[in-house]
Structure 1
Amino acid sequence: MPRQTEKVERAADDGVMIRECTTIEEFDACVRLQREVFGMPDLELSPRRHLIVSRLAGGWILGAFTMADDELVGFVHHLVAVRADKIIGYSHMMAVSARYQNRGLGARLKWAQRERALEEGRNFIRWTFEPMQARNAHFNLNRLGVCIRSYAINFYG
């Protein structure tokens, strides 16, 4: 049974439960959600194999599933990284279905990610985001309170 913290369980009053993705079907749902949310070509998606291997290497994917029909409507992909000889977290990607955006689900996923990382002894998480997209910048800076350490132009090409 996946680990679920009290905070995550209490936050499920909107009909969505956050839990770890562990099955091939759940990883495939993450790939489908990437297509839906980002509209990226297949070349730029994080494929099922990447999700499986990152989990094997200590990373994890927290999924937001509807309690009514267990549909994946959001996820955050967390990797293990090393910075200055210290093991940290790296948030590779987060996606929330358009039907569930602007309801606080993205913030719930990020807070659940933080809680899980702290449980594992990681008190630092890095990630990238596109600050030129106003919604993205607002979410990361104002809702989550992130600190920007560097800026890279055209980071992903």
Structure 2
Amino acid sequence: MILIRACSGHDELEACVQMQIETWGYDDSDIIPRKAFLVGQKIGGQVIGAFDTDLPGAAPNGTPESMVGFAMSLPGVKTGKNSTDGNPQPYLHSHMLAVRDHYRDRGLGAQLKLEQRREALSRGIRRMEWTFDPLEIKNAHLNIHKLGAIVRSYYVNFYGVSSSRLQGGLPTDRLVAEWYLDSDRVKGILEGSQAAAYEIEERILVPAAIYEWKASSAGRERALAVQDENRRRFQEAFSKGLAVVSFTRDAEGNGVFELARWA
């Protein structure tokens, strides 16, 4: 039994801090402290936890010890050309999502995102964004294929040097997922309907072996070469007005970003 709810109390927020260390292997320079989680929650952000209530000693409403995942977002405002109608609009930037190792590949990440969406819409917030690594196939599949986000922006080395073991020493390049929470596209994808057909103009591939290459000093140059080439192709495509509208995985497990014109 997995319970999804807002985190409360210092102990649960501290559990989020410890889980980010466990998930990404951050050192002190990259850790977001408990106070930042607390402030984010108090100013209109979200700290949502996933709790395994079947663990020995777990309470029906969950405990810090039974937390197995979390998602954290911060509030923001879109202005000018970045808003949909030119007027200031609130949105949420989902900064972190983590799931304990033994609970991955069970759809828990999607459950946390859907609770973020439900809570945001309950407050009249219709847009969320977050960044993700263009080389992470599983994340791209969740963000685009399962949730219906689109991508139109590429940030080069966004966070600078990272202590995360998952980064593999590569520049922290990031794509920006735009999630329009109550759009027909998102509602249709979440309901299992076929997404609207697009005329795909570009396809950008991420080799399934990228995880192995990033994890070894021998393969890091190959991973860097893929990152450099895909960075160039994403930037060119976005400059022409294309957007990532779908994501597929082929028979070999390679990830394929599909780009088309976005209205």
Structure 1 length-normalised TM: 0.87
Which whole-Å CA distance do the structure 1 matches of 2:137 and 2:156 have between them? 16
Partner residue, 1:6: none
Which whole-Å CA distance do the structure 1 matches of 2:138 and 2:31 have between them? 21
- 1:9-53 CA distances to partner (integer Å, 9 max, x unpaired)? xxxxxx110011111000010011101111111221211010011
Alignment of 1:2-151 (within 5 A): 15-68=1-54, 69=58, 70=62, 71-84=66-79, 85-151=88-154
Which whole-Å CA distance do the structure 1 matches of 2:117 and 2:135 have between them? 24
What secondary structure does 1:42 align onto?
A: coil
Which whole-Å CA distance do the structure 2 matches of 1:47 and 1:152 have between them? 25
Partner residue, 1:5: none
Gaps of 5+ in 2: 80-87, 161-263
Deviating above 4 A after TM superposition, structure 1's stretches of 4 or more consecutive aligned residues are none
What secondary structure does 1:78 align onto?
A: strand
Fraction of identical pairs, as percent:
41
Which whole-Å CA distance do the structure 1 matches of 2:41 and 2:114 have between them? 19
Name the one with the larger helix percent: 1
Greater shift in the superposed pair: 44-53 or 136-145: 136-145
C-alpha RMSD over aligned residues? 1.0
Structure 2 length-normalised TM: 0.53
Letter in 2 for 1:128: T
